[in-house]
Amino acid sequence: MTKQQRSTRPIQKLLIANRGEIACRIMRSAHQMGITCVAVFSNPDANMPFVKEADEAVHLFGETAGETYLKSDLIVQAAKQTNADAVHPGYGFLSENAAFAKACIDAGLIFVGPPPEAIQSMGSKLEAKQLMASNGVPVLLGKDVSNLNEQQLKEAVNEIGLPILIKATYGGGGRGMRIVHNYEELAVAVESAQREAQSAFGNPSVFLERYLESARHIEIQIFGDLYGNIVHLFERECSIQRHHQKIVEESPSTAVSPELREVMGKAAVTAGMTVGYVGAGTVEFMLASNDSSNDEFFFLEMNTRLQVEHPVTELITGLDLVKIQLLVAQGMPLSKEVFDASITGHAIETRLYAENPTKNWMGSMGTLHRFQFKPDKTNDQSILLRVDSGVEDGSVVSPYYDSMLAKVIAYAPTRIEAARVLENALGKAHIHGLATNRELLINILRCQDFLDGKTDTGFLERHSPEELSVNPLAEEATQLSAIAAALASQARNRVNSKVLSHLSSGWRNNPSEFQQISYETDQGRIDIKYRFERNRWTIYLAKQDASKSEDAPTPNLYEQKAVDLISCTATEVAFEYLGVRRSFDIHQVDSTTYVDSVLGAVELSELPRFPPPKRHIPPGSLIAPMPGVIIKVAVEQGETVETGQPLVIMEAMKMEHAIQAPAPGKVTDIYVEVNQQVSAGDIVATVVDLIEQLSNSSPR
């Protein structure tokens, strides 16, 4: 498209073709510029913050992305319906879809992004590699394998060499990516990557690429305008990843010297010049070695959109990248402050996900009862905490979309200070109702390798996510939090009492029997006996180890805890234990109590005095770990399976989850089929253990 075809009229009303955190982020800058904002939303998103913050919102009736946010005709129709004159695609969904960009322009809308031709040029990662190689940018060898049989796949791998990386040709964000270390994994990995690519990007094409182990993922932010100007705004390092999706990003990189920054920056600008780039874009490279003496790097891809991690660039440069996007889209040239940008200080971003890293990153869904970050009490203007989020207290996280809750970003004069500010903010946040990767992020920021700048793509292979996800003070935190929860429960009872509610919680005219309460926790069951006597509390606590089975519980022996109560309400408890005074914030939701303190966050489920009968689950039953859609049944009834063999594959929160055989056995029943929606706890199949089967069938 020629520059003359690009509109230079002011944007009056902007439709944001996205959801969640990025929709809120775009609105923030647009509203500051006096631009009216229109949101689009699906059924599950009807009550999300981005819908409330918009000036107008158009309902896209449907649940999944394929029914809503990926429907370009519905987006363009929504823009016309609300008289919007521009569309911002955000990231993900249709943000790198050239046909969508063209549809917007053909409808007379300003598309806040590069020309469709630039998107098309970089849309195919394979074609982008060829284009970059022809312009002198170093690339990794890649090969399209979308329509190859198993033998042809092996031949393709032989050309490149193991290990290899399977990547979605028309996608990003870690979707449709798999690492393959041996030929046995190859066919299944390609099939899985194709399914995920189709689901996320509407195109199943994948290709193979040489996989660099222990490399650095370095990306360069570029910006272009309608007048042929393209600049780079330095690098971001995004090496710490899970499922090939970034979870920690920072700028500047500890691995990039000023000389290397200049060379990589020029390569990124060359990439932008090659396709006539306009707007915000990111050129991604792999720095071949963690060794700072090796400056060999390779072009990976160009993201023709705003990146999730753009806040770190904003913080070190003082620029508002969304504002610049909107100005460029209106025909304004890049400003002097963009050309003169420099690096000041250090910024680190962590992606806070609703997921459990100890259970293969399984997504968590449901109601987020509380989501609050405590404000910084210091007045130091050189330190900044920023939380870009799309959720709030009461938000419901659905199974249909990505599980990211927020990006939490810290800025400080030095890297060590930024890490400490970020770690402290994550630790003090109140996040209730869903499992998250918060503890993992905190421990990464504390890890000596991270602090020393040793942050290559193998970081989470060297440092176990299971170990990094454990609070080292978990046992003490759980026990003291349980005591605080019990005391808060008593205070709540007194406040709600219709008789003598003014008396201190637990007050008795004469010593009485102990009151009792029991909780289920991650550390196991905790039983507490307590009573108020002679102006102090007497507390006994017994715990049952969570690692012990119900068939062989640990002895429930009570141990007296000497607790000197300082203050006690239904929402806050302070006491002294072993000479240390601490306060505990209490939040009760039904039978669950959330306790936050300096020791860490603890969730306690109060056990009923008379528990209901347990649900009977037949032996050998495999259950769905979360709500989702069955996308493949990999076995047949009567088939013999091995330990770890995938039986059923389901999709939830934009990720695939394989339900595997826990032991060698025979599939006796399959209860699901492809495209079936299942709920958490539904039985999907039954596998009879072969050893048990042989034992039961042997003559007696």
Q: Give catalytic residues, as residue numbers.
A: 305
Burial code of 570-599, b = ≥16 C-beta within 10 A, e = fewer? beebbbebeeeebebbbbbeeebbbbbbeb
Q: Which of 274, 265, 217, 203 is nearest to 245 (CA)?
A: 217
Beta strands in 598-664 (DSSP E): 600-606, 621-623, 628-633, 640-641, 646-652, 655-660
Residues in Cβ contact with 454 at an 8 Å cutoff, skipping those fewer than 6 apart: 290
| Long-range interactions of 610-617: CB distance < 8 A, separation 24+ | 617/683
Q: Which of 312, 383, 325, 398 is nearest to 351 (CA)?
A: 312
Strand pairing class (36-41; 13-16):
parallel
**Is 595:601 a contact under the CB 8 Å cutoff?**
yes
**Is 232:252 a contact under the CB 8 Å cutoff?**
no
**Kind plus residue range of the DSSP H or E element containing 199:** helix 183-201
Beta carbons within 10 angstroms of residue 97's beta carbon: 24
Three-state DSSP class for residue 615: coil
The amino acid present at 52, given as its one-letter code, is K
**Is 412:383 a contact under the CB 8 Å cutoff?**
yes
Is there a cis peptide before residue 252, judged by omega within 30 degrees of 0? yes
Q: Which residues make beta-bridge pairs with 520?
A: 525, 605
| Long-range interactions of 556-563: CB distance < 8 A, separation 24+ | 556/525, 556/527, 558/527, 558/529, 561/479, 561/483, 563/483, 563/537, 563/539
**Is 602:488 a contact under the CB 8 Å cutoff?**
no
CA 452 vs CA 466, 468, 586: distances in Å: 22, 17, 37
CA 206 vs CA 14, 285, 574: distances in Å: 34, 19, 57
Q: Which of 582, 346, 400 is nearest to 479 (CA)?
A: 582
Q: Which two tokens stand for residue 317?
A: 């440069």
Looking at 41-177, list the stretches that DSSP marks H as alpha helix, in order from N- to C-terminal side.
49-53, 72-81, 98-106, 116-123, 125-134, 150-160
Q: Which residues make beta-bridge pairs with 38?
A: 15, 56
**Kind plus residue range of the DSSP H or E element containing 692:** helix 690-697
